[in-house]
């Protein structure tokens, strides 16, 4: 969501103060590098056709042609819901190829209380004629380098984006992620990724609910994570935290079967 509801330990005022201090320093060499998501590049039209933008200011992926997988913290509860507009079919949210479809129903993860289980499904009034993004069913792909993408901010407290952006981030082990986040990190159903030593690349506000994905052994894209939360964005020492799809796939599949 636009509001950093799950950003930890940083109010808007504190963030602004930090930015003010940073702006007094000479621009680092990396300031000229492309920034996405934080630290990324523009996505080519059609490159990730399963990417969805949600009108409440979140991302998502096509779980089925008429079902969007997103984060639990991007929705307000379960039941009939015609208030969400899903946009897909273009990297440009305002472009001529963008297709907009309304929601009919939402399933928020049963038992969601802000501690893990950060997933939800949104049923659409009609299908997108676009490819879906398969989800992992075991931990075999919970490692390596992941792609992240979204229309969220390109810096902490930055603006939402009109054009889809992407970056790649390495897997971060549970032990290291736990050192950063303590009890806020739930190893049983969360997976972390980012450059812990240097920072600089991450998802950010507005990317929530979008997929973290990689290639499977056949070379096809497969979803491993759902953007959930982080300390600010791209901060050194604080990787992004993602819902671990491998731990949640059975629950997600059961919920999808109830949507009709
Ligand atoms: N909670 C944010 C949202 O609602 C996503 C934050 C991701 N943060 C991060 N540092 N990876 O959009």
**Top mutation candidate among 203, 226, 234 for ligand 1, by most atoms within 8 Å of CB:** 203
The label of the residue with tokens 């289980």 reads: 117
Contacts with 73 (C-beta within 8 Å, 6 or more apart), sequence order? 1, 5, 6, 114, 118, 208, 209, 228, 229
Taking the C-alpha atoms of residue 3 and residue 20, their distance in angstroms, rounded to an integer, is 20
Q: Which residues line ligand 1 (CB under 6 A)?
A: 1, 4-6, 152, 202-208, 227, 229-230, 233, 240
Q: What is the mean pLDDT of residues 108-125?
A: 98
Domain segments of the chain as ranges: 21-42+134-246, 51-132+249-259
Model confidence at 155, in pLDDT bands (50, 70, 90)? very high
What percentage of the chain exceeds 70 in pLDDT? 86
CATH 3.30.70.140 fits 51-132+249-259, yes or no: no
pTM above 0.85, yes or no: yes
* Pairing mode of beta strands 67-70, 58-64: antiparallel
155 is catalytic: no
Task: Give the per-residue SS3 of 197-213.
Answer: CCCCCECCCCCCCCEEE
* The pLDDT of residue 189: 98
- Quote the ligand 1 centre to 207 CA distance (angstroms): 6
Q: Which of 53, 66, 73, 78 is catalytic?
A: 73
Residue 130: pLDDT above 60?
yes
What percentage of the chain exceeds 90 in pLDDT? 85
* The pLDDT of residue 82: 98
73 is catalytic: yes
Mean pLDDT, all residues of the chain: 89
**What is the atom index within ligand 1 of the atom nearest the CA of 1?**
4
Which residue's alpha carbon is at the smallest distance from atom 1 of ligand 1? 229
Q: Hey, do 21-42+134-246 and 51-132+249-259 end up sharing a CATH topology, with the first three levels equal?
A: yes
118 is catalytic: yes
Model confidence at 7, in pLDDT bands (50, 70, 90)? very low
Contacts with 258 (C-beta within 8 Å, 6 or more apart), sequence order? 107
- Closest C-alpha to 88, from 126, 39, 134, 36: 126
pLDDT in tens, 203-244: 999 999 999 999 999 999 999 999 999 999 999 999 999 999
The label of the residue with tokens 């959930």 reads: 228
Residue 99: pLDDT above 60?
yes
Model confidence at 30, in pLDDT bands (50, 70, 90)? very low
CATH 2.40.10.10 fits 21-42+134-246, yes or no: yes
Taking the C-alpha atoms of residue 135 and residue 192, their distance in angstroms, rounded to an integer, is 17
Q: Which residue has the higher pLDDT, 6 or 50?
A: 50
**What is the atom index within ligand 1 of the atom nearest the CA of 5?**
1
């Amino acid at each position: 969501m636009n509001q950093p509801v799950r950003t930890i330990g940083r109010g808007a005022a504190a963030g602004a103060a930090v930015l003010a201090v940073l702006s007094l320093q000479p621009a680092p060499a990396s300031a000229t590098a492309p920034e996405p998501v934080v630290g990324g590049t523009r996505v080519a039209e059609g490159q990730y056709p399963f990417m969805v933008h949600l009108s409440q200011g979140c991302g998502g992926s096509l779980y089925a042609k008429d079902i969007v997988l997103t984060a639990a913290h991007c929705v307000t509860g379960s039941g009939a819901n015609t208030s969400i507009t899903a946009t897909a079919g273009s990297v440009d949210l305002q472009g001529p190829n963008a297709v907009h479809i309304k929601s009919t129903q939402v399933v928020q993860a049963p038992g969601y209380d802000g501690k893990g289980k950060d997933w939800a499904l949104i049923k659409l009034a009609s299908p997108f004629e676009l490819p879906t993004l398969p989800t992992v069913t075991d931990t075999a792909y919970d490692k390596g380098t992941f792609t992240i993408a979204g229309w969220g901010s390109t810096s902490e407290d930055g603006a939402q984006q009109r054009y889809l952006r992407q970056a790649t981030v390495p897997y971060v082990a549970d032990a290291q992620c736990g050192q950063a986040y303590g009890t806020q990190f739930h190893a049983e159903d969360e997976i972390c990724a980012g450059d812990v030593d240097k920072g600089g690349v991450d998802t950010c506000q507005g990317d929530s609910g979008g997929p973290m994905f990689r290639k499977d052994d056949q070379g096809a894209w497969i979803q491993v994570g759902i953007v959930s939360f982080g300390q600010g964005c791209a901060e050194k020492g604080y990787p992004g935290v993602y819902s671990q799809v491998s731990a949640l796939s059975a629950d997600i599949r059961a919920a999808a079967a109830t949507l009709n």
